[in-house]
Amino acid sequence: MNTVTAQKKYQGEDVVVIPRQEYEYLIKFKKIKEFSPTLAQKKSLTQAENNFKKRKTLSYNELVQKLGFAN
User: Using one digit for the tens of pLDDT, what is the confidence trace for 5-49?
Assistant: 777 777 777 788 888 999 888 888 878 788 899 999 999 999 999
* Predicted TM-score of the model (pTM): 0.43
Among 70, 49, 51, smallest CA distance to 61 is for 70
Stretch 38-65: mean pLDDT, rounded?
91
Q: How far, in Å, are 35, 45, 47 from residue 41 at the CA level? A: 11, 6, 10
